[in-house]
Amino acid sequence: MLTRSITLFLLHTILGTTKAAPELIPTPTADETCTLSNNYPTVDETRLPDPWRFADGKVVATTGDFTCRQAEISKILQQYEFGDFPPAPDSVKATWANTTFVTSNTTTSGGTMTVTVEVNNRTNTFSVNVTHPSTRSSSTHGSPAIIAYGGWSIPVPADVGRIIFANDACAAQTGSGSRGNGWFFHLHGRSHSAGSLLAWAWCVGRVIDGLEVLGASTTGINPSRLGVTGCSRNAKGAMVAGAFDKRIILTIPQESGVGGVACWRMYENELRRSRQIEPGRRQRISELASSNTWFSARFNNFTTSIQKMPADHHFLPALVAPRGLFVVENNIDWLAPRSTTGCMKAGRAIYNGLGVKSNMGFALHGGHNHCLFPAESEPALLSFINHFLFGKGAPDDVEVTPVSINTADWMYRWAAAPNLSLSSP
């Protein structure tokens, strides 16, 4: 059947079998036991919390310890900032319709994947367009792909598939009054504690479920070689998705700024030092949290007392590790380049302690518009894509920023890094 609109659809529908979705948050291996609390106490810490020390004071010494510390960090971030991350859905079904996309005199093949998710007898169906790379992989495993929140702002090689994820439909972000709107909340209830960043992470996991259910023989996409990206507010979401769904092999947040890759404590320190808030530019943390739906309402209890939180955003790279993470930032003032630089330097210190420093890159090139990907960062981006999505070469060991910040002042209370040697995905 052939229908014409903006896009030509050549429909060939295939029903995928239902299977249980994988666990999505960091979990210990079968021979390890992690003791996790349902409630972690506040702290009084003006510096960055220690990634190498458990809440009970125990120091990370082994790979198993760090796996459990990741699980603990995940729980802490949920409790204080993001809200509860739901378990996998009860069932996932998917169908596929072969599609030819026609845009600007360019024709590309792909498909429309329709996914039906069931949670507690509530169902939701959504669709995503999957564009095949111009050069299809001959492997039976399919081609790698990158999932973009909302649209594209990074250069994607021709041999990588593209998937656009409509994150706003999952959880709205049109001001504080839109909290509880979207299909995530249809499934879990409008009063669910999750902010939209965490809701999106759960929803993008359902996209991955659909790819796994159908398999590469149907979709042409390898579900074990996926990246995720987004810019600005959507980069905040991409960063959280990479932290909470370990099936994502490469995370590329672009210019996420405050609430993304900037550490709260560092940003608060910046505001205190500047002694002023410029109208229409930098916001106080309380204003940022209350102006939209990105964070759980729980976070409002700590926006004026950040030092009480036993976590900060250098813990997001800690959750992504040892998987690939390439952070792209800008020197625009309201993106808080000092805070993003310092926070991600701390993140790279965590990667270094795990023996995989080059698996995380940070590139801050300024002098360009917001969400315009700088040409200077393209070689490093390509090295990360080649390594993590294709298994070729090594990622560039990149840490580029014009900002000078002494991160030792923020990390001097940390326990000694365990100097582990985690395997690179």
Structure tokens at 188: 């879990």
**Cα separation, 34 vs 64, whole angstroms:** 9
Those residues whose C-beta lies under 8 Å from the C-beta of residue 1, and which sit 6 or more positions away, are 10, 11
- 298/338 Cα distance (integer angstroms): 27
Known catalytic residue at 232: yes
301 DSSP 8-state letter? G
The gap from C-alpha 308 to its chain's centroid, in whole angstroms, comes to 24
Tell me whether residue 370 is one of the annotated catalytic residues.
yes
Return the SS3 of 286: helix
Q: Which residues pair with 103 in a beta bridge?
A: 106
Backbone dihedral angles phi then psi of residue 51, each to the nearest 5 degrees: -75, -20
Residue with tokens 């999750």: 194
- For residue 55, give both structure tokens: 């809440």
109, 365, 370, 424: which is the annotated catalytic residue? 370
What is the distance between the alpha carbons of residues 283 and 290, in angstroms, rounded to a whole number? Answer: 11
Inter-helix orientation angle 196-214/233-244, to 10°: 60
Beta bridge partners of 178: none
Q: Which two tokens stand for residue 95?
A: 């169908």
Nearest to 167 by CA among 329, 343, 292: 292
Catalytic option among 232, 256, 358, 383: 232
Would you state the torsion angle of the CA atoms of residues 211, 217, 223, 225, taken in this order, to the nearest 10 degrees?
Answer: -150
Catalytic residue ranges: 232, 370
